[in-house]
Amino acid sequence: MQNAIRIMLLCAVFIIQWPAVAANDADMVALLSQNPTYTNVQISPDGRFISAVVNINNKTALGIIERKNFKMVNAIRFPGREEIGGYFWANNERLVIKMAEIMPWKQEPSYYGELFAINWDSSKASLIYGYRAGEMQTGSHIKKKEATKGWAEIVSVMPDNEEQILISSTPWSEGGDRLAELMLLDIYTGKMRKVGHSPVPYADFIADQDGALKLAVGVDKGDNTLVYRFNDKVKDWEQVPASNFGERFSAIGLDESGDSVYVLDDYGQDKTGLFKLKLADFSYKEIFTDKNVDIAHFEHTKNDNRIFALKLDDGLPTYVLLSDKYAEAQVFKDLLATFPGNALTITSKTSNEQFWVVAIYSDINAGSYFLFDKKNSSMTKLFDRMPALAKAKLATTEAIAFKSFDDTQIHGYFTAGKGNSANKPLIVNVHGGPHFVRDSWGFDREVQLLATAGYSVLQLNYRGSWGYGLKHQEAGYLQWGDAIQQDIIAGTRWAIDSGKAKAGNVCIMGGSFGGYSAVQSAVLAPDLYKCAVAVAGIYDLTLMKEEGDIPTRTFGVAYLDNVLGKDDAVIQHISPVNHVEKLQAALFIAHGKKDKRAPLEHATRLKAALDKAGKQYQWLEFDDETHGFYSPENRSVYYKQLLDFVGQHLTL
């Protein structure tokens, strides 16, 4: 099949309609600061239209393009603060959109539970669910509906039902722990009919393609996973005994019969594998487990949600095909051969399975979308996510592994700085989390910013990171300030000893937990790092248990007790705000004033401690940012100051 593929670049018409940033290799700050131009590309079920979320002057629109002539026929955009969020084609004419909103006090759009439906030509536009559905908006053609102060999530798109979808509707509450109702929602009228309720807070649901409920998975106050089967005989939920599943239970789809659910779990083993839970008797069967890593992702059929492939991030991404009997599986296998060296996913397909939209990415590709014509064995390139980067010379990333201070195997990634300087400047970039998160191979704008400027970048999946089994993750519990940081320090020394970096020419940086680690590692190994960059960090762990969005969640306190412990003396001891006198590294602190995960008080307490100790630091605060920097303008300011800061302390 690979020899039959024809690559056709037909995106010129669309790009002319919506201007893109011109490529400029000399100004990577400007290029990498921008939000992606094209995202979430899909095809309508009948294949008539291609849709894409397009960023125009930092405002999103949903572009509708006629496939045959690649002509833009409509651009759907919301007025004022509203933005296009996730969306899907509910039928050949109608799209359902998650409405995001930019509040005046922050840059990042947020989803507040509202659903909007509209035909491709902008007819029959309607706010079908949400707290403003009962309002008549001035100057708008949005029809008036009954207001719902709740949060909608799609449970089933019900592909054979062109007028209804199944949603969960969770009433608003401070902690988000109220029980959801299951509703059939008419995508034309906004009328709803209750068909069930959730048995547990924070629930995710599995339903079949007709909307019949099968499974609910949620969390209790003790941060324990609870699983319920829907019993058709009594029309109510029945709890699955906790002894029947493991620590990482996550239901992902039904099997062909509809009598069993595919689950990612670690039942009776260390790594997260694929299991099948039989709904009738709760029997559990392992299907596949990799010996080295957890399953990172899965591919499913678009109409009936059948699992056919698994993605593994053991260094570079690899895929395991579970079945070749589905059309998606056959196409996916050929696409892997067509795009070697790339990770990929199928975003959508036509009902007759002739046309498929494919998304690919790599370490040097921020992402590209293609249209595959199966009947004619042709491939058409649609868009690059960040077209201005298409001609930029980016740095490649390699997978690495080393033994930490106690011989624990640690994996990560190394990106060599452009120019291969004899001074080998290195920046250790620590991921956040620390749990349920990991670094993976792929495009990373911060890595590229630093590497193209001449700095090598080291990323580490220290103990506590997700992806390498439950033991690896739990080894980081109660070790935030000790063994995790020792892994980071050991990785830095490994890079020096292996000739990838030069001693005395190393900085460390990170965001969120990574910001904490940047300061904490510099406290523990003051001679190792010349500078540290801490973004949106947590510096006083006693404050973390009192302020922010984690303690407000029903299970939040239990989670923090589990991973941090309950000993206040220990928690204070591993809080870097209490040890700034040990710092020798130059420090750059950046924070958003509207951050709810790591409130600004973390940074101001660190600032006060530094002032008291007579330590110098660089400070950057954004009034309109939350947990990280979303605005391209703010991101550009941060990137420029970041490069200036490390340039003052590292030798290129």
Query: Considering the chain, what percentage of its residues have pLDDT values greater than 70?
Result: 93
Burial of 652 (0-12, 13-18, 19+ CB in 10 A): middle
Burial of 366 (0-12, 13-18, 19+ CB in 10 A): buried
Specify the DSSP class assigned to residue 576: G
Number of structural domains, the chain?
2
> Angle CA(13)–CA(15)–CA(16) in degrees, nearest 5?
65
Half-sphere exposure at residue 361, Cβ-oriented, CA atoms within 13 angstroms: 17
Q: Is residue 454 assigned to a domain?
A: yes
How big is the chain by its Cα radius of gyration, in Å?
A: 25
Residue 577 φ/ψ region, left for φ over 0, alpha for ψ in the -120 to 50 degree band, beta for the rest: alpha
Q: Which of 259, 292, 323 is the last residue of a domain?
A: 323
Distance CA 193, CA 335 (A): 42
Over residues 521-546, the mean pLDDT reads 96
Q: What pLDDT, on a 0 to 100 scale, did the predictor assign at position 324?
A: 83
Tens-place pLDDT, residues 124-150: 999 999 988 765 443 444 444 567 888
Tens-place pLDDT, residues 67-90: 999 999 999 999 888 899 999 999
Tens-place pLDDT, residues 405-453: 999 999 999 999 998 889 999 999 999 999 999 999 999 999 999 999 9
Instruction: Find all residues with CB under 8 Å of 593, minimum gap 6, and list them.
Output: 600, 621, 622, 623, 624, 625
> Is a pLDDT exceeding 70 seen at residue 198?
yes
Based on the domain organization, do 311 and 407 belong to the same domain? Answer: no
Instruction: Find all residues with CB under 8 Å of 648, minimum gap 6, and list them.
Output: 531, 586
Q: What pLDDT, on a 0 to 100 scale, did the predictor assign at position 277?
A: 96
Phi, psi of 418 (to 5 degrees): -65, 130
- Give me the amino acid identity at 155: V
* Summary mean pLDDT of the chain: 91
pTM of the model: 0.91
Over residues 94-121, the mean pLDDT reads 86
Name the pairing type of β-strands 506-511 and 531-535: parallel
Is residue 114 very low, low, confident or very high in pLDDT (cuts 50, 70, 90)? very high
Burial of 66 (0-12, 13-18, 19+ CB in 10 A): middle
Structure token pair of residue 494: 């490994």
Distance CA 298, CA 295 (A): 8
Q: Is residue 471 assigned to a domain?
A: yes
Q: What pLDDT, on a 0 to 100 scale, did the predictor assign at position 105?
A: 62
Q: What pLDDT, on a 0 to 100 scale, did the predictor assign at position 405?
A: 97
Q: What pLDDT, on a 0 to 100 scale, did the predictor assign at position 135?
A: 57
Over residues 176-182, the mean pLDDT reads 88
Based on the domain organization, do 421 and 550 belong to the same domain? Answer: yes
Q: What pLDDT, on a 0 to 100 scale, did the predictor assign at position 133?
A: 79
CB 620 within 8 Å of CB 637: yes
Tens-place pLDDT, residues 237-262: 999 999 999 999 999 999 988 899 99
Helices 632-649, 445-452: axis angle to 10 degrees equals 40
Based on the domain organization, do 439 and 315 belong to the same domain? Answer: no
Q: What share of the chain is helix, strand, coil (3-state, %, to 5)?
A: 20, 35, 45
Instruction: Find all residues with CB under 8 Å of 520, minimum gap 6, and list them.
Output: 480, 481, 485, 574, 576
Distance CA 643, CA 398 (A): 23
Distance CA 621, CA 154 (A): 37
Based on the domain organization, do 508 and 595 belong to the same domain? Answer: yes
Q: Which of 323, 355, 389 is the last residue of a domain?
A: 323
> Is a pLDDT exceeding 60 seen at residue 24?
no
Q: Is residue 600 assigned to a domain?
A: yes
Over residues 612-633, the mean pLDDT reads 94
DSSP-derived 3-state class of residue 364: coil
Tens-place pLDDT, residues 289-342: 999 999 999 999 887 778 999 999 999 999 999 988 888 999 999 999 999 999
Burial of 343 (0-12, 13-18, 19+ CB in 10 A): buried
> Is a pLDDT exceeding 80 seen at residue 108?
no
Q: Is residue 184 assigned to a domain?
A: no
Q: What pLDDT, on a 0 to 100 scale, did the predictor assign at position 101?
A: 83
Residue 219 φ/ψ region, left for φ over 0, alpha for ψ in the -120 to 50 degree band, beta for the rest: beta
Tens-place pLDDT, residues 212-221: 999 999 998 8
Q: Is residue 134 assigned to a domain?
A: no
> Is a pLDDT exceeding 60 seen at residue 504?
yes
Q: Which of 300, 323, 346 is the last residue of a domain?
A: 323
Q: Is residue 426 assigned to a domain?
A: yes
Q: What pLDDT, on a 0 to 100 scale, did the predictor assign at position 454?
A: 96
Q: What is the dihedral of CA 248, 252, 255, 256, to 10 degrees?
A: -170
Phi, psi of 200 (to 5 degrees): -155, 145
Q: Is residue 355 assigned to a domain?
A: no
Tens-place pLDDT, residues 487-503: 999 999 999 999 999 99
Specify the DSSP class assigned to residue 154: E
Based on the domain organization, do 285 and 418 belong to the same domain? Answer: no
Terminal-residue alpha carbon distance, the chain: 46
Structural domain range at position 465? 399-647
Based on the domain organization, do 429 and 300 belong to the same domain? Answer: no
Residue 612: which CATH number? 3.40.50.1820
CB 482 within 8 Å of CB 446: no
